Each structure stands twice: as structure tokens, then as C-alpha cells.
Structure 1
Amino acid sequence: MNPKILIFIDWFTPGFKAGGPIKSITNIINSLSDNFDFYIITSDRDINEESSYKNLKLNSWISKEKYSIIYLTPDTCNKWISDHINNTDYDKYYFNSLFSKNFTIKPLLTLNKLSKQNIIIAPRGMLGKGALSIKPFKKKIFLTISKILSYYKNVTWHATNEGEKNDIIAVFGYKSKIKTASNISICVIDEKRISKVKEELNLVFFSRISPKKNLIYVLNLLKEFNHISLDIYGSIEDKNYWKKCLKIIDSNKINAQYKGEINPIDVTTTLANYHFFILPTLHENYGHVIIEALTAGCGLIISNNTPWENLSEKHIGWEINLNDNAKFINTLRHCLSLEENEYDTIRNNCYKFVSEEINSITEIEDTKKLFT
């Protein structure tokens, strides 16, 4: 009999607006379902939605091919989870968030009362400096109180890279129990050629529209250009932030359009229509969308607040410090100046990088060790 793993996650398929965290869990399950029996507890709706998923059984377990899942309604969630934890044992309890009230903090309290030791928490970048800079006072108070109360004393932390490991140590101390396993990426390359004319450039921004993803930074860069187009995809997580974006677009006559959300099965084929993917994020502990962009052949213009480094040496893009506005502008000018043959080299290098560097068996084996 396989070990039983109980996963807590705020949003899961058929939801997709939460982006990376859903992909992380999906890829773990697809890679390790022969070795572990996975059970998922999640909410009954997508992020920022007011109604439940259509045509889904709620508040009861549903058996899928590779996992079992329950979608809990808000009125049922907390009591059901508490009762279930008290009455059912699992080999590991895996939390896909740090600050989630209903799917981390409250369940963890119940587990602590039972003195459970087999708990794993994946912060998913929430302890990075950029992430902690958003609503910092509230987060600082919570983390301080949690340390005083030894709230995370029985936890093993899942770090996805050395940077995140250092972030965990910086907050919770060097005695923290940490296992490192990079995110699993499952990529299928379907090469596509697109036209590139000198002094024309088509950019794509695909991420949740929120301060952390930093779309306003992109729009301020584009004030300097007349021949760059930007298509914006992603769920509008912060409506006030989006209003500020629209004001910049309208007042500066920027060639930018909001194209809505992308169904997960259409992400790669959609991104493949653009020359470069731009994301000046405040922090990413991995960035599944970055890999999706490379899989689509999009060169990268991103901040240096991700684990993806030395992009220019690999000839697949650039990672740039957000304080170096001039370098972002010069990079865009360089991309504008590219002829088609020069651009094709970058696109080929993106495909080559994904083929050679992603889908590594190492990530799967490291994640397997996380649960054993």
C-alpha cells in the first residue's frame, strides 16, 4: 500500500487563475501517483470568484485517476477539515501555502493539538523579500506571533531552491528542518516560427494582475516607445491596481491591450505568438509561467527576483535589477532592433534550453524524498 499524502491548497483544477501553485501540485501528482496516494482538500471555487464550480459534487470525496479530491464550500470548510484531521490519519500532511487562513493556519492548529510530526509546508515564495514587502506590517506581526507560539515547531519546510532555503532560515532560524526539491516542470515543445521585423516588437505579459507581478513597471517602460505592442493576459486579482494600469495606458497612449485569461491548455500556443515575455516581478520562487514562455519560444525580459539566472549567457533573455531602469530600456531597444535571423537564434535557444535543462529526473526524485 502506498503512503497517503493529504494536500491542502486554496484553489485547484478546474480552477486556474491562481497560476503556479496549481501547476506545482498537478505536476507532483502526475509524476508521483504510482508511488503515493494523494488526497486533496480545496475550495469550491476559483480565486476571486463568488460562486462554486458548475457541475461538480461538493463537500464529498471525488475519485480521480491519480488522486482523490474534495471541494469544500465556505460554510462547511473549517468544521469538515477539523473533523477529518481528528478522525483520519495520513503519512504526510502537505500545505501549499504559508498564510492561507482556511487551508494552512487553521488546519495546522488542529494538527499541532494532535502533536503530529509529519507536516510539510511549501511557502511558495511567500518568505521572499519582495513578497514580504506587500502588506509587510500584517505579515511581520503574524510571523512574530507564530514564532513566539512555536506554531511551526513540527514542520518540515519544502524549499524549491537555495534562495528559498535561505529565506526560510532568515525568518525561522538555522535550526529549521528544510528539504530542498525544485518544482517539477512537464513541458511539451511544439516549435513555431513567427515573423520579426526590425523596429517592431510584440511583447506579452501573462500573470495575475497584482502589485507583486509589477505590470505598472512594464507600462512605465513603454512610455519611451512607439513601436512596441503589449498584450496582457491574466486574472485581475487587484482591481484598484488594474485601474492604475488603465490610467497609465490611456494617458500615455501606450499600445497595450488586455486580452483576458488563458485556459491552461492554451497557454503555450498563445505565448508562441509573441517575440518576448516580460515580467518585472517583485519575487518568484520558481515561476512556472517563465518555463511556459520558454517552451513557447519566447525570449525572457524579467527581473532578477527569480531563480532563473545567466539568461544572457544562455542567449535566451535577460534578468535585470528593477533599480536599473536604463538597462530595461536598452534591452527593449536591442530587441526592437533585431532582424528575423537574429531573433530566430534566440527562439531556437529557448527550445534547446527547455529540451536540455527542464523535465529533469532529479526534481522528481528529490520530491519523492520529500514525502518519504
Structure 2
Amino acid sequence: MVNKLTRTPSLDDADPARRSAGAVGTYRVVATAGVFEPGFRGGGPIRSLRFILDTLPGDLDVTLITRDRDLGSPAPYPGLSGRLLRRDERSAVFYLNPVVPRHWVRLIRHVRARPVDLLYVNSIWSLFSVLAILAVALRLVRVGAILVAPRGELSPGALAIRATKKRLFLALWAPLLRRLRVRWQACSWLEEKQIRATVPWAQVMVNGNESPIPAHPAPPARAHDGPLRLVFVGRISPMKNLSTALEAVAGTTRPVEFDIYGPPEDPHYWARCQRIITAMPGHVRVRYLGELAAEDVMPTFSRYDAFLFPTLGENFGHVILESLASGCPVVCSDDTPFSALITDTGGTVVRPTTAAGLSRVLDLLADRSPGERAEAKATAGQRYRHWRQRHREPNVLAHARQFCR
């Protein structure tokens, strides 16, 4: 992940040509995100941004402003705090500690060195998004247009968490966004619908081209004897609904092994999950195996028979695509853009997503022979690749250049 970054000694020493007017026709974007590489706890949005930056057309120049540490980490990344790191000729990342004044001085100097055509903020609630938009509203920074990517934050499931605070914030924030004539990015038709339900006046650009086609085929599926192997990969938070997955596993009647990977984002929710784990019946084995770095996600998926993911809502769902690309069928809720794909690749969409309904599906999977499980894995990988080849869109920021005119 970090091997694409080359350190610039300081903002003051950056290439003067890049701080001047720039090449004729270059479209300058300043983007914000709460977390980015080398962090990985932020999940899908990190992978979305990485792919967007990796596939920029040559006439775009992007500076991404992000926190100098991973999600929930008290310590900054070694040697990155307050630095601008150029990834390549088209993109750079500034690692900010918001409580250090000199970081702001360097950042403001860099941002104001040349006109900004587009401000691209990822998240509605993030401090980085709020401060960036306030800077535009107060005319501290002038930009040609603003594009907001809510990253699933306006889904019904997400809005139901701390609902009162979010309603109050939106009541104050939405009029300002309207006055600034912000545009919105949805990663799918489902997210477009969710944005319009909350912000009826929104101008929405739909673009979900945020996931690469894996460079290699899925690992060959091998038959194995023994219990059904299930996996959960994701943030341990109410939104990802691990508790219902655990209740479903507890309700099976066949032997099952269930491994969990991901950062415990909500301590109270994780304590609830642990209580369910403690009460598991004897025919079920559950293990929490810690966090996964991005490069370990697909190799991990390849070892399992199914990915159990009763999420309350995904605006995109990178982890679903990673599972399928690894040859791991998905058992999921109907709250993602990929219900048809999940079904076509041999997985199951459970409607409604109750623990009892999931348990019935898991018992059917556990009754499969080793050969049938291996065949299902091979089918998932092959069909995913065929689907991905057919679904390509322009780079998100290249699309935004046209949409925000």
C-alpha cells in the first residue's frame, strides 16, 4: 500500500511548477477523507479512494487530505504526520494532525497555491468534510464546485444509529449545502435513492467504478471434509450486524466453524457479540482472529465456504466483491447494490434478514458435499469476473469534471 508513496521533504520544497498555474487544461481536485493508506481499518472507502487515485486520467491533479493515523488509533503513522507525499505525477496525500497548527499552515499554503476546480469530500459527518465545506462557505478557500460522497451514511440503517444527533445536524447543515450548490456522488442506484430521500433537492452523479478487476483468477477451489467454514470480514459495529450473524450461527443444527475478522469499532456492541459467542452450542466453533490488512483480505476469503454478511446497508460493498473475486459465495442481506450479483454467483440474499432465516440457509450449505462446496466456490469466482468485465465506468473524478460544470 505505501509503496506507491514517495516522500516530499516538505510542502515548501515541493516542485514549484506544481504550485504555479500548472499545465494548461489540468483539472485540480482537493479531496478529503478521514482515513487512508497505510491505514486499513476504514474498510471500503480506503479501497475506493486508492482505486480512484490509481486510475486518474493524465489531466487531473489530486491532493487528498487525510488524518495522520488509522481509524481509532492513538498513534500517527511513523514519519508521515504533517507531510505531503506524492504517489505519482497525478496525486499526492497530505497527512494532517488537526490539533497541530503548523500542519494547517502548510496545508493552507499548499491548497491556495493554485485554483481548485473541485472539492471532493468523502463523508457527511467527518470533521475533515465539515471543515473543508466551512472553509469554502467562509471564502477562506475558493473552489469551482463541491462534490459530496456520503459513503452509505444516508442509508436507513446508518441514519437509525444516533438518529437524533444526525437529524439535528442535517437540519442545520443541509441548507448550507444547498446554498453552496453541492453535488452528490452515489456509488449505486440504491444510494442515489437514499440520498434523494434525505436531500430531495440533490443533484446526484451515480458512479460505482471504484473496484479493480483482480489481476489473477481466484485460487483453485479444493474439496474439504468437515464442518461448513464461514467467515465474517468487516468493522465490528452495529451497521455490519455481526450480532445477527452470530445468532444465525447459534441457530444452526449442523456443525459450523465461524471465523471473525475486523476491528471492534464499538466496544459496547462488541461486548454484546462476545456474550453471544460465550453461549454458543457445542456443534459451533467461533473464533475472533483480529484485523486484516488489505492485502490479506482476498487470500483469507479463499479459505472459506461462504461469507456471512447480514449488513444493515452498504452504499457499495467492496468486501462483497472481494469475497466473490476470491471464490467465496456470499450469504447477505438485501441492503446492498449487489443482490442480483450475489444470487447469480451462487450466494443467497435472505429476505427478511432474520437470524432464523439465515440459520436455514446455513443448514442447507452445511448439507452440501465437499465436492459441491468446491464447485460453488469455483462458480462464484468465474461469474464474478464475467460480471466485472461488463461493468466499467469512467474514473469518478473524470466523471465529476463533466457533471459539475
Alignment TM-score, normalising by the size of structure 1: 0.92
Output the amino acid matched with 1:61: L
Output the aligned Cα RMSD: 2.2
1:193 paired to 2:221: yes
Output the amino acid matched with 1:93: L
Match of 2:374 in 1: 344
**Is the Cα contact below 8 Å between 1:9 and 1:97 reproduced in 2?**
yes
In the TM superposition, what is the alpha-carbon distance from 1:137 to its structure 2 partner?
0.6
**Is the Cα contact below 8 Å between 1:185 and 1:358 reproduced in 2?**
no
Encode CA deviations 1:194-225: one digit per residue, 9 max, x unaligned: 3243x720000000011111111011111223
Q: Secondary structure at the match of 1:246?
A: helix
In the TM superposition, what is the alpha-carbon distance from 1:150 to its structure 2 partner?
4.7
**Is the Cα contact below 8 Å between 1:206 and 1:232 reproduced in 2?**
yes
Q: Secondary structure at the match of 1:41?
A: strand
Label 1:285 to 1:312 Cα distance change in 2 as closer, same or farther (>3 A).
closer
Match of 2:119 among 81, 93, 100: 93
Match of 2:361 in 1: 331
Question: Which whole-Å CA distance do the structure 2 matches of 1:312 and 1:184 have between them?
Answer: 18
**Is the Cα contact below 8 Å between 2:86 and 2:92 reproduced in 1?**
yes
1:110 paired to 2:110: no
1:26 paired to 2:66: no
In the TM superposition, what is the alpha-carbon distance from 1:147 to its structure 2 partner?
2.8
Question: Which whole-Å CA distance do the structure 1 matches of 2:321 and 2:312 have between them?
Answer: 18
In the TM superposition, what is the alpha-carbon distance from 1:35 to its structure 2 partner?
3.9
Match of 2:273 in 1: 245
1:53 paired to 2:66: no
Match of 1:236 in 2: 264
Q: Secondary structure at the match of 2:119?
A: strand
Label 1:152 to 1:135 Cα distance change in 2 as closer, same or farther (>3 A).
farther
Output the amino acid matched with 1:262: L
Q: Secondary structure at the match of 1:91?
A: strand
Label 1:151 to 1:25 Cα distance change in 2 as closer, same or farther (>3 A).
same
Label 1:179 to 1:247 Cα distance change in 2 as closer, same or farther (>3 A).
same
Question: Which whole-Å CA distance do the structure 2 matches of 1:91 and 1:105 have between them?
Answer: 19
Higher deviation after alignment, 358-367 or 319-328: 358-367
Higher deviation after alignment, 108-117 or 288-297: 108-117
Aligned length: 368
1:210 paired to 2:237: yes
Question: Which whole-Å CA distance do the structure 1 matches of 2:39 and 2:221 have between them?
Answer: 31
1:168 paired to 2:215: no
Label 1:152 to 1:190 Cα distance change in 2 as closer, same or farther (>3 A).
farther
Q: Which runs of 5+ in 2 are unaligned?
A: 1-22
In the TM superposition, what is the alpha-carbon distance from 1:145 to its structure 2 partner?
1.4
In the TM superposition, what is the alpha-carbon distance from 1:367 to its structure 2 partner?
5.0
Match of 2:325 in 1: 295
Match of 2:182 among 155, 159, 180: 155
1:357 paired to 2:387: yes
Percent identity between the two aligned chains: 29
Encode CA deviations 1:295-315: one digit per residue, 9 max, x unaligned: 110000011110112356514
Question: Which whole-Å CA distance do the structure 1 matches of 2:86 and 2:345 have between them?
Answer: 45
Match of 2:67 in 1: 43
Question: Which whole-Å CA distance do the structure 2 matches of 1:297 and 1:150 have between them?
Answer: 42
Label 1:339 to 1:12 Cα distance change in 2 as closer, same or farther (>3 A).
same
Q: Which runs of 5+ in 1 are unaligned?
A: none
Match of 1:146 in 2: 173
Label 1:148 to 1:32 Cα distance change in 2 as closer, same or farther (>3 A).
closer
**Is the Cα contact below 8 Å between 1:146 and 1:152 reproduced in 2?**
no
Alignment TM-score, normalising by the size of structure 2: 0.85
In the TM superposition, what is the alpha-carbon distance from 1:64 to its structure 2 partner?
2.0
Encode CA deviations 1:226-274: one digit per residue, 9 max, x unaligned: 5111110011111121111111111235411011111111211111000
Q: Secondary structure at the match of 1:364?
A: coil
